[in-house]
Chains A and B, each alone.
Chain A
Amino acid sequence: MRELDVSIVRDAVARLCVAANTRLPEDVKKAIDEFRSKEDWAIAKGVLENIVENYLIADSENVPICQDTGMACVFLEVGQEVHFVGGGLYDAVNEGVRRGYTDGYLRKSVVADPIRRGNTGDNTPAVVYTDIVPGDRVRITVGPKGFGSENMSAIKMLKPSDGLEGIKKFILDTVEAAGPNPCPPMVVGVGIGGTFDKAAYLAKKALMRPLDVRNPDPYYAELEIELLEQINALGIGPQGFGGLTTALGLNIEVMPTHIAGMPCAVNIGCHATRHATEVL
């Protein structure tokens, strides 16, 4: 058994909120750079150059990459040998978000009620997911999620008879419907299987995986590559002005499902798909 004071979690979450919002992950930078060299449509290349310039300014001046510093999605992988002391774990996570967003001059984008609205003033509460895993470590990933892209996401309860073609069509239709709205080039997170809610969770988790890491199952790894090519044949392009680079990457996460179902969720991310991780 390892005792871990929740204040350590709180401070890590605060650091991760600021880090994720000001420094674009290396895998996303790499994908932008690769597409910039491949993109030969003038207006599209110009947009990608501006996007590079933007993340360089954010890096060097410690300012948010995007003003939408998102709703804080916090993924906790907790080793089952860990015993948290010093207070509630989720209270500590939310205090970390509060401090990170306040002290880091990040935008407070959370309203207290979905219909009655009213800004909470400190970007809490976070959306927290907890996995219990073997060991005595705690792995924390903060993925601030902007809503320009979140709003273009979709979920569908496909029938087993819809098959692979049905999955492909739904993913492409969702990207097509998103068009210029989610700040393309997008990152596409796909969740297939499980239940209604689990498919959506898998799609969000897919956005946290580095873009240069393929699904370990070769069947899905090939599908990721094929779908990315098909998306980049749509012509939507950076910002929707036309061009090759409609998406920087596509990740698929899957799990077993029911004999009657084939849920598929598509979580759209923007070109500033952000995540930062620490292991305690």
Chain B
Amino acid sequence: MEHYVNLPLTAEKAKLLRAGDTVYLTGEVYTSRDAGHKRMVELLKRGEELPFDPKDATIYYVGPSPARPGQIIGSAGPTTSGRMDAYAPTLLAQGARGMIGKGARSPEVIEAMKQHTGVYFGAIGGAGALLAKCIKSSELIAWEDLQSEALRRLWVEDMPLVVVIDCEGNDLYAQGRAAYLEGR
């Protein structure tokens, strides 16, 4: 199934998405990866607030390459999500709902997604030049010292994604492979 989804990603919208569906996402997403996630979770542990409102937010696991003069952003494809598994349940508990990345997630993350109605989207890893085309603005929010790992707010338009794990815990990596092997 194909969906055109406008962000923020409410629980109602999330519930309509199933593993294997194609999604074109439009709206605000926040970029964060290893170092940024570590800082976010440290802030929360100290009882402080995140630099953005996590409610219904979507986080894109990306560390873009630098923009040339006149460009909005450099190449901007997903990084491997598994490295954020240690932090993702904490962010889902804060109300963040969408995650964009590539690669497998831990049982703990999938459990947290089921509990908090989260969705894990896959963007095509290694297609950073193509994905940059749907990024229409980029604004630094925090942690400039982290360079490519800084927290940025992006506006994306019709970003092509696949639902890899839905809020019921269905996983395209298992289902897609099984279906291919069965149909071959």
Contacts and interface: CB of A to CB of B under 8 A. Distances in A.
Interface residues of B, number: 47
Contacts of A241: 122, 162, 172-173, 176-177
Given A54-B130, A181-B82, A183-B125, A119 B147 contact: yes
A272 interface: yes
B147 A121 contact: yes
Contacts of A65: 75, 126, 128-129
Interface string A130-159: 000000000000000010100100000000
A91 B127 CA distance: 33
A236 interface: yes
A61 B75 CA distance: 11
Contact of A180 (B76, B103, B129, B160): B103
Contacts of A242: 175-181
A61 B162 CA distance: 26
B54 interface: no
A68 interface: yes
Contacts of B86: none
B76 A50 contact: no
Chain A interface SS verdict (over half): loop
A243 interface: yes
B130 A183 contact: no
Interface residues of A, number: 47
B35 interface: yes
Interface in A45-80: 47, 50-51, 53-55, 57-58, 61, 63-69
A204 B140 CA distance: 36
Nearest to B66: A105
Interface stretch (B3-11, B57-65, B111-119): B57-65
Interface of B: 20, 35, 62-68, 71, 74-77, 79-80, 82, 102-104, 122, 124-130, 132-133, 146-149, 160, 162, 172-173, 175-181, 183-184
5 contacts: A67-B128, A68-B79, A106-B65, A107-B75, A179-B103
